[in-house]
Amino acid sequence: MTDREAAVRLAAIEARSVSKVFTGFRQDSFRALDRVDVTIRENEFFTLLGPSGCGKTTLLRLIAGFDFPSEGEILLYGKDIAPLPPYKRPVNTVFQNYALFPHMTVAQNIAFGLEMLGKGREETAARVDEMLKLVRMEAMRDRRTSQISGGQQQRVALARALAPRPKVLLLDEPLSALDYKLRKEMQVELKRLQLETGITFVFVTHDQEEALTMSDRIAVMSAGRILQVGSPRDIYDRPSERFVADFIGETNFITGTVKGFAKGRAEVALPGGAVISASVPEGHRPAGTVTVVVRPEHADFTTTAKEAALRGRFDHAVFFGTDTHYHITLADGAPFILRLQNDTTDELPLTRGEAVMIRVAPGTAQVVRD
Amino acid sequence: MTDPSAPSAQRVIDEARARDVRSRWLLSAPALAIIFFAAIGPLFVVLIYSFMQKGDYGDVKPWTFSTDGWFNVLFERDLFDDTLGLAWANLVIFWRSVKLSVITTVVTLLLGFPTAYFISTRPEHRRDLWLFLITIPFWTNLLIRTFAIQEVVRNEGIVNSALIGLGLIHEPIQIMFTDTAILLGMVYVYLPLMVLPLYASMEKIDFRLVEAGYDLYATRFAVLRRIIIPLVKPGIVAGSILVFIPSLGAYVTPKLLGGGKNMMLGNLIELQFGQGRNWPLGSALSIFLMIIVMAALLVYVRNASDSGGRHG
């Protein structure tokens, strides 16, 4: 999708300078959200990504209406939803622990929201059938929620939240309780549901892999603030903050000195003397000592001194099946990891302490804010 | 080849199981002995007494048989012309007992539900304090507490003096020696018995279910009706049973607050063993009370589980 298309798409949710402060008994307060601005577009799979305590769940609860912002406003299709209680917001939630009603069957759980909206008996029944089919749970319709597995509960929770056709679906770490294999399956399933229903998904997770594989756009959060918003590729290839680069994927941080800056690119002198060109986050003017990020898969060994961006000593190698990680200590003592695919070559015959030269793929280095 | 003298696995398991059963019987023997000698035994005596002739000065005539005791539970013969009629005095007391017990149960439920909800929504470390406060009335003897209520409701008591002092009424309102006074006393005495089981099942509710309800367009009332009440139902059933049964057999409260006119079943039974000198009738009434309780419980529990089934 191009930027122009994106601009045409409606904004489903807009948070405008939203803060949330929790005040404890002894007047000690905690700022869970700090002037957050974000726009979530219609029909997109939007992920709030961050470590626990970063405020991602708080933001979700503000959208759902379980909590109210201390400052700022939240707009749903341009309308301020602050005065609406949760049961008047056309927004549904898939809870972390699913929160299925234990005294109802699968079908009754799914029908609940429709009944509360005052839908007729036939319409409700038809919609429940449709939802059961959508999540492939037809056979389980009359089971108690305690009689089905975790993955099945997950599907019921999804069906229940989708049944009233919400404008926005909020998902609060819905996959965290599932085991690895099931989680992979549900990731695909969630993506399919989002494409089939065309509903805007706001997905909260601390799992960067989950975020990268499923999202249209990701907002990386830390300590109550949104650090960067962008497509998975943007976030991965062009992190703007040290935290973002560190949180998502494996990264090498190299300390360098800015030699020149023009048109969003900086000439940075790396330890060892070589100068490379690195891209710079929008609006940032680097100067003096900066941190440069190089992903392990964007580096390679070289034998020609002219290509070498970095020099160091080989430490050890770790075999990962599809690829091998080579741990290197750079000239200034910083660690560096280099990843090579194990397609044709055997493990390189390096010995501990051996001097190596490292090439960085052109255009991949990135200057980040500290 | 297996050694034929070696015990087979099956035999070892059987022996272990038998040992287990033996030790369980042994462990429960003291409790069973007490139940037998202190509860079932005397109950049996009461049953036998209800089928004997009454003695002239109380007691029963040994080795006699009579159904008069049971007959007199519901019927009586006219003193003068010996015609058969219903024992209206008794029926009125049965009706009052059942009525007041049902009202007590309903009122304690209505008062206890919000109380239990309040406690179970407090922060965890504060709930113990609230529960502790609920149990404070148990520290004082029931008799003293009932006298205290007398002091509050009697004609010259706190409520009437205050109302007269404020000029709201000119004559004291007669609360003492009415059903209202009995009801007040019973609600006060049995409220904790309702709150505690309600709290026990409410505390187990995952309040995220309540959020899920709100999220799915349920109003506060709908959340209460469709989510909280069904989940608290075991507590409602247990609390109602705990309040209803002792209410039906209440003795001290109706005696002190209801006076001689507003008797309940417990007082009627006591009367037969005291001034009435009709032990067979007293015994028959006691068994009759048990039957009412069992019947009421059966109907109640069956209804409760039925409606649970229908709603899922």
pTM: 0.81
Domain with CATH 1.10.3720.10 in chain B: 87-310
Rounded to 5 degrees, what angle do the CA atoms B281, B283, B285 make? 70
Q: How far B57 CA lies from chain A's nearest CA (Å)? A: 59
**Contact flag B308-A101 (C-beta cutoff 8 Å):** no
Rounded-to-integer distance, Cα A68 and Cα A58, Å: 10
Rounded-to-integer distance, Cα A334 and Cα A336, Å: 7
Domain range list for chain A: 3-237, 250-368
| A85 at B interface, C-beta within 8 A | yes
Of A100, A84, A73, give the one whose Cα is nearest residue A16. Answer: A73
User: Least CB-CB distance to A64: which of B215, B217, B231?
Assistant: B215
- Between A345 and A298, the higher pLDDT residue: A298
Average pLDDT over residues A235-253: 92
How confident is residue B296, by pLDDT bands cut at 50, 70 and 90? confident
Q: Please write the tens of the pLDDT for every residue from A130-167.
A: 999 988 899 999 999 989 998 899 999 999 999 999 99
Average pLDDT over residues A248-273: 88
Q: Please write the tens of the pLDDT for every residue from B227-238.
A: 999 999 999 999
**Contact flag A66-B218 (C-beta cutoff 8 Å):** no
Q: Is the pLDDT at B304 greater than 80, yes or no?
A: no
- Between A3 and A158, the higher pLDDT residue: A158
**Contact flag A86-B215 (C-beta cutoff 8 Å):** yes
**Contact flag B216-A104 (C-beta cutoff 8 Å):** no
Residues 102-161 of A with CB under 8 A from B: 102-105, 108, 112-113, 116-117, 144, 160-161
- State the pLDDT at residue B300: 86
Helices (H), A38-149: 56-64, 106-116, 121-134
- State the pLDDT at residue B215: 95
| A166 at B interface, C-beta within 8 A | no
| CATH match for A250-368 among 2.40.50.100, 3.40.720.10, 1.10.645.10, 3.40.50.410 | 2.40.50.100
What is the pLDDT of chain A when averaged over all its residues?
90
Q: Which residue of B216, B229, B232 is the best one to mutate when testing the A interface, meaning the one whose CB has the most A CBs within 10 A?
A: B216
- State the pLDDT at residue B308: 45
Q: Does domain A3-237 have CATH number 3.40.50.970?
A: no
- State the pLDDT at residue B207: 87
Considering only alpha carbons, which residue of chain A is nearest residue B123?
A25
Q: How far B220 CA lies from chain A's nearest CA (Å)? A: 9
How confident is residue B7, by pLDDT bands cut at 50, 70 and 90? low
Considering only alpha carbons, which residue of chain A is nearest residue B223?
A116
Q: Which residues in B lie closer than 8 A to residue A64 (C-beta atoms)?
A: 215
Q: Which residues does B216 contact at the CB level (< 8 Å), separation at least 6?
A: A87, A92, A112, A113, A116, A160, A161, A164
Q: Please write the tens of the pLDDT for every residue from A181-201.
A: 888 888 998 999 899 889 999
**Contact flag B211-A99 (C-beta cutoff 8 Å):** yes
**Contact flag A112-B226 (C-beta cutoff 8 Å):** yes
Q: Which residue of A101, A144, A158, A173 is the best one to mutate when testing the B interface, meaning the one whose CB has the most B CBs within 10 A?
A: A101
Q: How far B213 CA lies from chain A's nearest CA (Å)? A: 8
Q: Please state which CATH number belongs to domain B87-310.
A: 1.10.3720.10
Contact yes or no for A249/A232 (Cβ under 8 A): no
What is the pLDDT of chain B when averaged over all its residues?
89
| B207 at A interface, C-beta within 8 A | no
- State the pLDDT at residue A8: 53
**Contact flag B216-A105 (C-beta cutoff 8 Å):** no
How confident is residue B181, by pLDDT bands cut at 50, 70 and 90? very high
**Contact flag A103-B231 (C-beta cutoff 8 Å):** yes
Q: Is the pLDDT at B307 greater than 60, yes or no?
A: no
Between chain A and chain B, the number of residue pairs with CB atoms below 8 A apart is 66
Two tokens, residue B86: 């219903």
- State the pLDDT at residue B306: 58
- State the pLDDT at residue B312: 36
- State the pLDDT at residue A69: 92
Rounded-to-integer distance, Cα A212 and Cα A49, Å: 10
Phi/psi at B90 (5° precision)? -65, -45
Q: Which residues in B lie closer than 8 A to residue A164 (C-beta atoms)?
A: 216-217
Q: Is the pLDDT at A273 greater than 80, yes or no?
A: no
- State the pLDDT at residue B5: 59
Q: Which residues in B lie closer than 8 A to residue A66 (C-beta atoms)?
A: 211, 214-215
How confident is residue B310, by pLDDT bands cut at 50, 70 and 90? very low
Q: Which residue of B217, B219, B307 is the best one to mutate when testing the A interface, meaning the one whose CB has the most A CBs within 10 A?
A: B217
User: Least CB-CB distance to B216: which of A102, A103, A112?
Assistant: A112
Q: Please write the tens of the pLDDT for every residue from B113-138.
A: 999 999 999 988 899 999 999 888 88
Q: Please write the tens of the pLDDT for every residue from A79-99.
A: 999 889 999 999 999 998 899
Contact yes or no for A74/A82 (Cβ under 8 A): yes
Q: Which helix (H) or strand (E) holds A196?
A: helix A180-197
- State the pLDDT at residue B6: 65
User: Least CB-CB distance to A99: which of B208, B231, B308?
Assistant: B208
Strand partners, A170: A93, A202
